[in-house]
Amino acid sequence: MGVRTKLLLAVLIISGFNYKLVEAQEPAVEKGIDTSFVVVVMDKPDTVISSTDTSGIVDFHPQDSPQETGFLITTQDGKSQLLFRGSIRMNGAIDLNGLQNKENFQTLDIPVGDKNISETRFFLSARQTRFGMEAQKETNGGPIAMRIEGDFFGKENSLRLRHAYGSFRDYLVGQTWSVFGDPLALPWTVDFEGPNSSVLERTVQMRYSSTFGNKYRFTASLEAPSVDLIVPDSVQAAYQSIPDVIARIRKSGNNGHIQFAALIRNINVKTALGNKENLIGYGFLLSGRYNINAKNHLLMQFVNGQGIARYITALTGRGLDIVYNSANDEFETLNVYGGFISYGINWADHLFSYFTPGITGAINKPYQPDNAFRFSGYFSANIFWDIIEGLRFGGEYSYGSRINKNGEWGGANRFSFIVYYDF
């Protein structure tokens, strides 16, 4: 037996002997051994981002993974936690007319005139399924929190990023709901899009938030600029050079809250001749929640502005931030508006509903084509039943209409349902 082999054998024997000694010793924590990386599973996820965000800097939306569920892992010293949570969601619908080729109920997709046909369609989907994780670590300066969440609304059911951010004290950086929005004033809906006029956009941002007095919270952010426009073949897209600047103030009380938000943005475009133009977009949002009593409440949002279509659910991705006038080779911001009121009622401890009418519109330019979008209406009525903890069923009726610049009209009717398995 060689010298190296003998040495290796001796090390293994000594290691095994030491292991037996350690195994027989008292708990490591009493001997002063560092146990910060020893993990245990806790019964309830009550010490992570969802409940420790006392600053109120994080926004939560009804479509997000439920805050009260999850599998929590924590270090034995209690300084760090990691939470895994998710929601398996299967939704389906019966379309009677108007939106047979669409999964989401978006009023701008409703065909008008002879193209609007009455033909029943049934579909099922699991793309609303989502999962994510949250982490928190105690430091000398205070807790640092992080969150990642995704769903399957990417191309061909691929994973899509919803949230990815970190927060420390009154600061947040990463991707989450825009400050130009109010998730707390949005109703539950079966349909993924929600009210057509809701202001609901996720952006990459740097956010600061602070309270003053007992009821007021001020939040400001710089958010990634993204221009929603349809560029003619003869026009080159331009890079954006200034972030969107957003601020909001919220007053909260026993009966709910009211919020006012303002947005200003610089939009860079290039004309057909290659000239660079700078346009100014701006918008205002008034939103809130009023608790009538323990079982009834009202939600509302009203928005108006120039060049802010990308922030409105029904209008985002439609090229309506700005429009192009080929006659004089110029771009102009488009004035858009919208609003909804939602009535929520708790029928029983595990049974609730929302009834939501809303509108969305655009002030058309004379040079826009006759088939340009002008106005849409929306209504939904639903009921949700919490069957057992972690299992929920929802059913909904949705109606929508679209009117074009030339007055052509189309409508859509849908019955939809959803099943949640939350973990």
Using an 8 Å Cβ cutoff, are 405 and 374 in contact? yes
Q: Are strands 335-348 and 296-306 parallel, antiparallel or unpaired?
A: antiparallel
Q: State the Cα–Cα distance between residues 160 and 163, nearest whole angstrom.
A: 9
Determine the pLDDT at residue 36. Answer: 44
Residue 254 has pLDDT above 80, yes or no: yes
Percentage of the chain modeled with pLDDT above 90: 66
Residue 43 has pLDDT above 70, yes or no: no
Q: Where are the domains of the chain?
A: 29-422
Partners of residue 412 on adjacent β-strands: 400
99 by Cβ neighbours in 10 Å (0-12 / 13-18 / 19+) ranks as buried
Q: State the Cα–Cα distance between residues 50 and 302, nearest whole angstrom.
A: 28
Determine the pLDDT at residue 258. Answer: 98
Q: State the Cα–Cα distance between residues 8 and 232, nearest whole angstrom.
A: 74
Sign of CA dihedral 101, 104, 109, 112: positive
Q: How many helices (H) and strands (E) does the chain have?
A: 2, 21
301 contacts: CB under 8 Å, gap ≥ 6: 182, 185, 186, 195, 197, 198, 199, 285, 286, 287, 338, 339, 340
Determine the pLDDT at residue 233. Answer: 64
The three-class DSSP label of residue 280 is strand
Chain segment 282-309, per-residue pLDDT in tens: 999 999 999 999 999 999 999 999 999 9
212 by Cβ neighbours in 10 Å (0-12 / 13-18 / 19+) ranks as exposed
DSSP conformation class of 28? G
Residue 299's nearest CA partner among 338, 356, 218, 381 is 356
Band (pLDDT 50/70/90 cuts) for residue 330 is: confident
166 by Cβ neighbours in 10 Å (0-12 / 13-18 / 19+) ranks as middle
Q: State the Cα–Cα distance between residues 97 and 409, nearest whole angstrom.
A: 13
Determine the pLDDT at residue 98. Answer: 84
Amino acid in the structure at residue 18? N
Residue 33 has pLDDT above 60, yes or no: no
Q: Measure the CA angle with vertex 109, ends 108 and 115; round to 5°.
A: 120
Band (pLDDT 50/70/90 cuts) for residue 2 is: low
Chain segment 405-423, per-residue pLDDT in tens: 999 999 999 999 999 999 8
Better-scored residue on pLDDT, 5 or 72:
72
Better-scored residue on pLDDT, 215 or 26:
215
Distance separating the N- and C-terminal Cα atoms of the chain: 57
DSSP conformation class of 103? S
* Mean pLDDT of all residues in 20-40: 40
Least confident of 253-267, 276-290, 320-334: 320-334
Say what the alpha-carbon torsion angle 146, 155, 228, 364 is, to the nearest 10 degrees: -130
Q: Where are the beta strands (DSSP E) in 152-243?
A: 160-168, 171-177, 202-212, 216-223
For 29-422, which CATH superfamily applies? Porin (2.40.160.10)
Residue 21 has pLDDT above 60, yes or no: no
Chain segment 117-148, per-residue pLDDT in tens: 888 999 999 999 999 999 999 999 999 999 99
Residue 262 has pLDDT above 70, yes or no: yes
List b or e across 58-88, with b for residues whose CB sees 16 or more CB atoms inside 10 angstroms.
Answer: bbbbebbbbeebbebbbbeeeebbbbbbbbe
Determine the pLDDT at residue 208. Answer: 98
Residue 308's nearest CA partner among 337, 331, 269, 268 is 337
This prediction has a pTM of 0.85
Determine the pLDDT at residue 293. Answer: 96
Which residue pairs, CB below 8 angstroms and at least 24 apart, start in 328-333? 329/271, 329/272, 329/273, 329/275, 330/271, 330/277, 331/229, 331/269, 331/271, 331/277, 331/279, 332/279, 332/365, 333/267, 333/279, 333/280, 333/281, 333/306, 333/307
Residue 70 has pLDDT above 60, yes or no: yes
Better-scored residue on pLDDT, 14 or 406:
406
Alpha-carbon distances of 38 from 2, 29, 41, 79, 138, rounded to whole Å: 39, 10, 10, 11, 16
Partners of residue 355 on adjacent β-strands: 343, 381
Better-scored residue on pLDDT, 57 or 266:
266
Pull the structure tokens for residue 349.
């401890």
Residue 46 has pLDDT above 60, yes or no: no
Residue 77 has pLDDT above 90, yes or no: no
Percentage of the chain modeled with pLDDT above 70: 85
Least confident of 19-23, 225-229, 347-351: 19-23
Residue 1 has pLDDT above 80, yes or no: no
Determine the pLDDT at residue 298. Answer: 98
Residue 63's nearest CA partner among 202, 173, 216 is 202
Task: Annotate 319-380 with three-state secondary structure.
Answer: CECEEEECCCCEEEECEEEEEEEEEEEEEECCEEEEEEEEEEEEECCCCCCCCCEEEEEEEE
Run of H or E residues at 382: strand 373-388
Residue 62 has pLDDT above 80, yes or no: no
